[in-house]
Amino acid sequence: MIFGKIEYLNLLPFHIFMKRYLKGSQQQQILHYKRGVPSHINTAFKARRVDAAFISSIASRRCTCLNLGIMARKEIKSVLLLPGKAISDDESATSNRLAKVLQLEGQVLIGDKALKHYLGHEDDAIDLAKLWYERQHLPFVFARFCYHGKTKTYQKLSARFLSSSHKIPYYLLEKASKRTGIPPQEIREYLKLVEYDLDRHALLGLKRFLRLSDALGRERTLTPR
């Protein structure tokens, strides 16, 4: 099994769970990780170089996915836009599109570097998930857990993760803090904003985002250049 691994803090609880879930099992012996940023994992998954991964919402259409993902009920602090010249984050697919759907121009930042920026410069950053909620009154889904084959295996894994505690031992918070430069307490507070169970409201928010994204694409196609 080749699993696409995105080493952002928002997936820290899932990666810890995976180690516990597969510990000592035969699956642990055959599990391999392909590491990368979201845009690279999207490409690897579509090319079937990865068996399962959290795929950017915008790239998850026509994929086999579970109701497990990365979702913000309101704010998220790790998906930002810095007003000014339009600069996409090449690590992202969904967040770049979200900025366009919200009709914003500026520099898109995602992941741990975005969270670090927010903690030091909150006033000059727009939280894209928060703005989406203010306009749509719906959660925003950034990624979905998608897979190729072995449906029962992934359904069982998803159910176990969603029903488990996501509490992270302090020594692992310290380890993550050293890697990211973000204090352990700030990591803990940030993870309170991240949800993984894609409920009815989350799926409605996803559907609306994809519809608005499609409409934006059609509008651009029809606009004379």
Q: What is the pLDDT of residues 188-216, one digit of tens each?
A: 999 999 999 999 999 999 999 999 999 88
Reported as a single tens digit per residue, the pLDDT across 95-130 is 989 999 999 999 999 999 999 999 988 788 999 999
Report yes or no: 46 and 59 within 8 Å, Cβ to Cβ: yes
For the entire predicted model, the pTM comes to 0.89
Residue 71's CATH number: 3.40.190.10
DSSP state of 22: H
**Residue whose pair of structure tokens reads 């090449």 in the numeric block:** 90
Q: What is the mean pLDDT of the chain?
A: 89
- In angstroms, rounded to a whole number, what is the distance separating the alpha carbons of residues 98 and 105? 11
pLDDT for 22 equals 75
- In angstroms, rounded to a whole number, what is the distance separating the alpha carbons of residues 146 and 82? 30
User: What Rg do the C-alpha atoms of the chain give, in angstroms?
Assistant: 17
Share of the chain above pLDDT 90, in %: 65
Residue 89 has pLDDT above 50, yes or no: yes
pLDDT for 31 equals 61
Determine the structural domain holding residue 173 and report its residue range: 2-222
The total number of structural domains that make up the chain: 1
Reported as a single tens digit per residue, the pLDDT across 50-66 is 999 999 999 998 899 99
Residue 172: strand, helix, or coil:
helix
Reported as a single tens digit per residue, the pLDDT across 26-57 is 555 456 677 888 889 899 999 999 999 999 99
The phi-psi region of residue 37 (left if phi > 0; otherwise alpha if psi is between -120 and 50; otherwise beta) is beta
pLDDT-derived band of residue 88, with 50, 70 and 90 as boundaries? Answer: confident
Smallest CA-to-CA distance from 94 within 9, 12, 212, 186 is with 212
Residue 101: strand, helix, or coil:
helix
